[in-house]
Amino acid sequence: MTFLGRKMTGMPPRIVPLRLPPLLFAHRGGRAHAPENTLEAFRRAVDLGATGLESDVWLTSDGQPVLDHDGRVGRGLRRSSLSSHRRDELPGHIPSLADLYEAIPAVADGTVQVCLDVLDVAAAAPVVSMVAAADRNAQLWLAHSDWRVLLEWRGLDDAVRLVDSTRLNRITEGPERRAADLAAAGVSAVNLHASEWSGGLCTLFHRFGLECFGWDAQHAHQITTLLGQGLDGIFGDHVDRLVAAAVQA
């Protein structure tokens, strides 16, 4: 059966993203393939075809941005925050942001982009300064769960992209009002859990020029669905699944 010259397959039409091809972010370096947030994981992710790397960033006591999930080291009652340690006091598996740019050529030359969840807000300015010095600020995304915090970072560097990383139930003013506020504030993207996206919601944010990212996309059918909904970036632990779905889309 055809409709207006197009064959009807029973599948909804694919929504075209703002970004083609969409970014494929290796969550914590693609922790399905190697220990998370390690240079080994980041290298493996790039080798598998990731076009973006994601991590959380913290600041040490001597002002070095480092990559780790929960920002703490040690065990049991002896756990302490990364911010209380100098860079040279940290375990060897925790890389600095500088290590990432030095060790991964595709990051250093801008082929692969980097998205950092800035859980330690003190790290934002040092991160932007370091990446700008490497002339890779246009390939840097900074994410935070409170979009109003992002406003404080807009003046650090106009080339850095800012990401509102949130959940639908936190958008109490409604998606359209949030989209308008984010666009006016110079925020580049909104990041929601993979289960919360729909084609209509993605189209709404696109209308305001906002890119749409989805996190925790772990299964092939889930990734394929998100791509069909028009997402511009997807975060997942399994880089091979991200790449395979993107090829088939």
- In Å, the largest CA–CA distance within the chain is 68
Q: Is there a cis peptide before residue 13, judged by omega within 30 degrees of 0?
A: no
Q: What is the pTM of this model?
A: 0.92
**Tens digit of pLDDT for each residue in 147-187?**
999 999 999 999 999 999 999 999 999 999 999 999 999 99
Residue 17 pLDDT > 80: yes
Determine the pLDDT at residue 14.
82
Q: What is the mean pLDDT of the chain?
A: 93
Q: Which of 25, 57, 59, 58 is nearest to 42 (CA)?
A: 25
Integer distance in angstroms from the first to the last C-alpha of the chain?
22
d(CA 32, CA 221): 17
Determine the pLDDT at residue 88.
95
d(CA 231, CA 228): 8
C-beta of residue 236 within 8 angstroms of C-beta of residue 217: yes
Q: Residue 149's CB: how many other CB atoms inside 10 A?
A: 15
Residue 140 pLDDT > 80: yes
Residue 2 pLDDT > 50: no
pLDDT category, 78, cuts 50, 70, 90? Answer: confident
The bridge status of strand 113-118 relative to strand 52-59 is parallel
Domains of the chain, each with CATH number or no CATH: 18-248 (3.20.20.190)
Q: Residue 99's CB: how many other CB atoms inside 10 A?
A: 16
Determine the pLDDT at residue 105.
97
Residue 5 pLDDT > 80: no
- In what helix (H) or strand (E) does residue 178 lie, and over which residues does it extend? helix 175-185
Query: Which tokens hold the place of 160?
Result: 């850095």
Determine the pLDDT at residue 1.
35
Burial 211-224, CB ≥16 within 10 A → b, else e: bbbbbebeeeebbb
Residue 8 pLDDT > 50: no
C-beta of residue 95 within 8 angstroms of C-beta of residue 38: yes
In sequence order, what DSSP letters do the residues of 76-94 get, joined into one string? Answer: GGG-EEGGGS-GGGS-TTS
Lowest mean pLDDT among 1-10, 81-90, 113-122, 193-202: 1-10
**Tens digit of pLDDT for each residue in 91-108?**
999 999 999 999 999 999
- In what helix (H) or strand (E) does residue 59 lie, and over which residues does it extend? strand 52-59
Within 60-188, strands assigned E span 65-67, 72-73, 80-81, 113-118, 140-144, 161-165
